[in-house]
Amino acid sequence: METLYPGIYTLTFGTPEALTPVALRDFAPAVDALEGLPALPCPFAAADLRFRTTGRGCQVELPLSGFEQLYGFGLQLKSFGQLAKKKTMRCNADPVADTGDSHAPVPFYVSTDGYGVLADSARQVHFYCGANAKPGQTERRMTIEIPHAQGVTLYIFAGQNILGAVQRYNLFSGGGAMPPAWGLGVWYRCYTRGKRPEIEGFAQEFRDRKLPVTVLGLEPSWHTKAYSCSFLWNEDNFPDHENFVANMRAMGYQLNLWEHVFTHPTAALYEKLLPFAGEYAVWDGLAPDLSLPEARALFAGYHQKEFAEKGVSGFKLDECDGSDFTGGWSYPDAAAFPSGLEGERMHNLIGLLYQHAIRRAFAPLGERTWGLVRASGALAAPSPFTVYSDLYDHRDYIRGMVNMGFSGLLWIPEVRNAAGMEDFIRRLQTVIFAPVAMINAWPFPLPPWKQVNDALNHAGVIMENTLEAEAVCRSLFELRSALAPYLYTAFRKYQTEGVPPIRALVLDTPEDEDCWNTEDAVLIGDSLYFAPLVAGETEKTFYLPKGQWVDFFAPGSAPLEGGKNYTFTYDLDHYPLFVRAGTLLPLCDVQQFIPVRPQFALRPVYYGAAPTAPVAVALYEDDGHSLNAPGRTVRLVMQPGGSCSLERTGDGTEMYTIAGGQQ
């Protein structure tokens, strides 16, 4: 048992494989932050852990205390508490059952006992979370099986509590991802068959109608070939694309381009990548082995030169998972890759390797990127990508919101079509509080607030209540815009302290067992509580954690006492959104887009009994877009009476001004 950092222990059993998530990591641990943490004893004695090799690979057994709940394993959409379950870490598209299969499986779990365990393997690791005892015995253990491997290294993260263990895991991963400020604006992905005139039409309409949108996404139509991908602008669809990009940027938009990794024979990269390609083609395109520095450099260099340097801000990385549940379109698990990886591990790694390659297209320019990806995995916290899915169950999506924080992931419970207006609005309310607030309208010629029904949208039939729908969207987009300073600061805490910006209640109050099974509410930052509604719910029973909470929509109202369930009735415009009593919430004035070099005019609102002394909140500021931008923490102070001021020390970019305040 080796102490790696204070409270982080590592233990190697047998002969681990060479190519693992830790070995292939692209981010160094956040050493300074880790070294500043207190020493904590390891939750296990080495003698408590039992290892053996088997005909299938190897396995380690770890003790369970008998009174704990377990969470994690990545983006689990089908369940929350994992005790007594079997979970298999297999990355694939559209996982439909509670098997562990996920867009972003992570061989890491945390316990309410205040520890976390990472099994450093890219294999389809199986976790048997204490379902079975041995005959005649009662003790239940965690059994971690690593197929095809003769050993494994475990990383054990101690914590004063479960959040502490998660923080250590995130800091070991490199600290959380820090978005460019524009990434926190509203995103809109345009119709998949849209050409330049249609996209420019959307862009103009959003500005004309005062719908604050910052990022526009282009879908496959920008490629000359999309399945597989050519990564070449389609000049038929986007004539003079450089001019198009410049126009969009001039209107304040950031552009995000859809692609996937399978490289079409007509791609400029094809011949160069061929020596680094896997054994099988997918959609007749090669599968680059991005674990090889040469392949990654080729991929990154091309994206830098052709896109990053030409004004594109980021990418949506599709199809980088597997197809176990979707017919088998991807490469087989046994497919050979030049690095020595085979399909099994590549499926679990390619999402991350792809993220690393794309990030490296922007890094040389000193710019942050912020993108979407359909697959991720272990140690992903610093990677500037949010996981999305083509699944579409709203409750599953909410469960993703609750689970993402356990495993260093960001997740968007997207919205596109809907069963009706109520469904659309409830889904939009959920996504407005996600790491990326996006309407993923790729299937739609018309924005969904004009028509939520897929067939009618294609038929051009505009809903009667489209103006009401647009107003709801505008209001939610504006709410998102107003939260940007709060969210930016929460992300900074993710980056420097490893605290997930959006997280399950149990992470903050593990001593409150009523939170252990709360899978339908999250904390956003340290001061906001959010319990999304789904279509059909007009009355909602929700659990407020201990403490005092004020209704976001009624700042002057009496606080509710947490630690119990409440049942309220909600109209379509409202839902359980609460602010911790005593919070100065740093809202800002709405802008139609968040610029690259952002300026936020603060209009903070105080939640709680009228203060008799100054109240304050810390905000993070920097230039909002550069990698390694110097930054600082600003103190926003409100005097009893409501006048506000900013307290800064030293030089630096000033991101905030005061526009007003409300008590």
**188 versus 331: smaller Cβ distance to a second copy:** 331
Instruction: Give 90 or 316: the residue with its C-beta nearer to a second copy.
Output: 90
Contact set for a second copy, span 109-148 (CB under 8 A): 126, 128-129, 131-137, 143, 145, 147-148
Pairing mode of beta strands 371-373, 314-318: parallel
Stretch in the footprint of a second copy (CB under 8 A) among 284-292, 399-407, 461-469, 483-491: 284-292
Question: Could you tell me the CA-to-CA distances from 326 to 87, 285, 319 in Å, in that order?
Answer: 19, 18, 11
**282 part of the interface to a second copy, by CB under 8 A:** yes
Of residues 19 and 412, the one with the C-beta less far from a second copy: 19
Q: How far is the CB of 225 from a second copy (least distance, A)?
A: 15
Specify whether the CB–CB gap between 223 and 232 falls below 8 A: yes
Which residue from 18, 235, 246, 329 is in contact with a second copy, where contact means CB under 8 A?
329
Choose which of 76, 88, 161, 214 interacts with a second copy (CB under 8 A): 88
Tell me whether residue 97 or residue 558 sits nearer to a second copy (CB atom): 97
Give the integer Cα–Cα distance in Å for 306 and 543. Answer: 50
Q: How many beta carbons lie within 10 A of that of residue 380, not counting itself?
A: 30
Task: Report, in Å, the least distance between residue 295 CB and a second copy.
Answer: 14
Which member of 1, 4, 11, 96 binds a second copy (CB under 8 A)?
A: 96
For residues 573 to 612, the per-residue mask of contacts with a second copy, x marking binding by CB under 8 A and - elsewhere, is ----------------------------------------
Residue 49 CA to residue 390 CA, distance in Å, equals 39
C-alpha closest to that of 309 among 300, 317, 318? 300
One-letter-per-residue 3-state SS of 418-478: CCCHHHHHHHHHHHHCCCCEEEECCCCCCCCCCCCCHHHHHCCCCCCCHHHHHHHHHHHHH
Question: In the bound complex, what is the minimum distance in angstroms from residue 273's beta carbon to a second copy?
Answer: 10
* Cα within 13 Å of Cα(214), Cβ side: 26
Binds a second copy (CB under 8 A): choice among 26, 113, 279, 526? 279
Q: Kindly tell me which of 4 and 336 has the beta carbon lying closer to a second copy.
A: 336
Identify whether the C-beta of residue 165 lies closer than 8 Å to the C-beta of residue 74.
Answer: no
Is 433 a binding residue for a second copy by CB under 8 A? The answer is: no
Min dist CB 414 to a second copy, Å, is 22
Write the binding mask 239 to 278 for a second copy: x where contact by CB under 8 A, - elsewhere: --------------------------x--------x--x-
Please say which residue, 143 or 527, places its beta carbon nearer to a second copy.
143
Which CA distances in Å does 97 have to 64, 88, 109, 233, 393? 25, 11, 19, 38, 12
Q: How far is the CB of 511 from a second copy (least distance, A)?
A: 27
Contact present, 539 and 576 (Cβ < 8 Å): no
Listing DSSP states for 487-542 in one string gives: HHHHHHHHHHH---SEEEHHHH-TT-GGGTT--S-EEETTTEEE----TT-SEEEE
- List binders of a second copy among 50-69 (CB under 8 A): 54-57, 59
The DSSP code sequence of 530-594 is E----TT-SEEEEEEPSSEEEETT-TTSPPEE-SEEEEEE--TT---EEEETTEEE--B---SS-
Least Å distance between CB 290 and a second copy? 16
Element (H, E) at 352: helix 343-362
User: Whose Cβ is closer to a second copy: residue 82's or residue 214's?
Assistant: 82
Three-state SS string over 206-220 comes to HHHCCCCCCEEEECH
Cβ atoms 100, 373 nearer than 8 A: no
Other residues' Cβ atoms within 10 Å of the Cβ of residue 403: 28
Kindly indicate which of the ranges 23-31, 80-88, 401-409, 621-629 contains the residues binding a second copy, using the contact rule CB under 8 A: 80-88
Nearer to a second copy, 342 or 621 (CB): 342
The stretch near a second copy (CB under 8 A) out of 92-100, 234-242, 595-603, 628-636 is: 92-100
| Residue 325 in contact with a second copy, rule: CB under 8 A | yes
| Binding to a second copy, residues 342-361 (CB under 8 A) | 342, 344
Q: Among 487, 496, 503, 320, which Cα is nearest to 407's? A: 503
Of 68, 259, 319, 324, which one interacts with a second copy (CB under 8 A)? 324
Q: Is 256 left (phi over 0), alpha (psi -120 to 50) or beta?
A: beta
Q: Which stretch binds a second copy (CB under 8 A): 204-212, 281-289, 308-316, 527-535?
A: 281-289
Determine contact, residues 229/260, Cβ cutoff 8 Å.
Answer: yes
CA 654 to chain centre: 28
Task: Show contacts with a second copy in window 448-467 (CB under 8 A).
Answer: none
Nearer to a second copy, 128 or 516 (CB): 128
Size of the site for a second copy (CB under 8 A): 53
Regarding 327 and contact with a second copy (CB under 8 A), the answer is yes
d(CA 246, CA 572): 39
Q: How far is the CB of 61 from a second copy (least distance, A)?
A: 10
SS3 state at 358: helix
Binding a second copy (rule: CB under 8 A), the pick from 28, 84, 246, 558 is 84
- Which C-beta is closer to a second copy: that of 271 or that of 511? 271
- Check residue 163 and report its DSSP letter: H
Nearer Cβ to a second copy (138/628): 138
Instruction: Tell me how far, at minimum, the Cβ of 331 lies from a second copy, in Å.
Output: 6
Looking at the Cβ atoms of 96 and 560, the one nearer to a second copy is 96
Residue 239 Cβ vs a second copy, minimum distance, rounded to whole Å: 32
Q: State yes or no: residue 85 binds a second copy (CB under 8 A).
A: yes
How many beta carbons lie within 10 A of that of residue 66, not counting itself?
9
Could you say whether residue 28 binds a second copy (CB under 8 A)?
Answer: no
Phi and psi for 181 in degrees, rounded to 5?
-55, -40
Residue 556 in contact with a second copy, rule: CB under 8 A: no
Of 83-91, 207-215, 434-442, 452-460: span binding a second copy (CB under 8 A): 83-91
Q: Label residue 616 exposed, middle or buried (CB < 10 Å: 0-12, 13-18, 19+).
A: middle
Kindly provide the b/e burial profile for residues 36-48, where b requires at least 16 CB atoms within 10 angstroms of the residue's own CB.
ebeebebbbeeee
Q: How far is the CB of 324 from a second copy (least distance, A)?
A: 6
* DSSP strand pairing (437-440 vs 186-189): parallel
Q: Does 234 bind a second copy (CB under 8 A)?
A: no
Residue 52 or 305: the one with the smaller Cβ distance to a second copy is 52
Query: Closest distance between a second copy and the C-beta of residue 287, in Å?
Result: 8
Around 233, how many Cα atoms within 13 Å sit in the side-chain half-sphere? Answer: 16
Kindly tell me which of 52 and 210 has the beta carbon lying closer to a second copy. Answer: 52
Contact set with a second copy (CB under 8 A): 54-57, 59, 84-88, 96-99, 126, 128-129, 131-137, 143, 145, 147-148, 265, 274, 277, 279-282, 284-286, 323-325, 327-336, 342, 344
